[in-house]
A and B are shown apart, each in its own frame.
Chain A
Amino acid sequence: GENVEQHPSTLSVQEGDSAVIKCTYSDSASNYFPWYKQELGKRPQLIIDIRSNVGEKKDQRIAVTLNKTAKHFSLHITETQPEDSAVYFCAALSGSARQLTFGSGTQLTVLP
């Protein structure tokens, strides 16, 4: 089945700096890669997603890049703000099972 690895597990940045979270996946047939944000005690919420026919997607301060050859994708957050502090999960939609496999999460802390 699909295996998704996410790094780093924790990340601290100064307010205004950029943050990058990376994920690798194992199933070359995976074709959909979402990112979810989970604030403390809250439910995960979709913040951005990308399909395998696109290399990059942006939405204001967040962007996702995908390298199909290397089987990795990354979340980029620019001009970080304290409200960006949360756990971020990547996921991949496997080609065969058609179910999402999630990474283990990254705790992002934005220091004021």
Chain B
Amino acid sequence: NAGVTQTPKFQVLKTGQSMTLQCAQDMNHEYMSWYRQDPGMGLRLIHYSVGAGITDQGEVPNGYNVSRSTTEDFPLRLLSAAPSQTSVYFCASSYQGTEKLFFGSGTQLSVL
């Protein structure tokens, strides 16, 4: 099993550009989520999904969209990038609920 795979690892955007961060898992996990990690602020939940076709907002959802058309994939879309979205983004999944999360390797995003 590859686990949780995130692409790209690094990305630089200009303000106003849009892009999609990809996340895929091959563990047949129902729960998937996106976090952003900023210095001194821990991990903050952006969006999550408890199964295909179901998504919900987390603590910091503004400026981001998600969809869950399959169990395996959970892409995160930045609609119009802003410097405040410069961060490290982690995708995570678990078999059920939010216990025992498996994290992807992260995407370091810089918005200029």
Contact = CB atoms under 8 A, between A and B. Distances in A.
Interface residues of A: mostly helix, strand, loop or mixed? strand
Interface stretch (A56-64, A68-76, A98-106): A98-106
A110 B82 CA distance: 38
> Is the interface on chain B under 10, 10 to 19, 20 to 34, or 35 or more residues?
20 to 34
Contacts of B35: 102
Interface residues of B: mostly helix, strand, loop or mixed? loop
Interface in B56-72: 58-59
B58 to A, nearest CB: 6
B42 interface: yes
Interface of B: 35, 40-45, 48, 58-59, 90, 97-101, 103-106
Given A43-B104, A99-B58, 14 more contacts: A6-B42, A32-B99, A34-B99, A42-B105, A43-B105, A44-B103, A49-B99, A93-B98, A99-B59, A99-B98, A100-B101, A102-B43, A102-B44, A103-B42
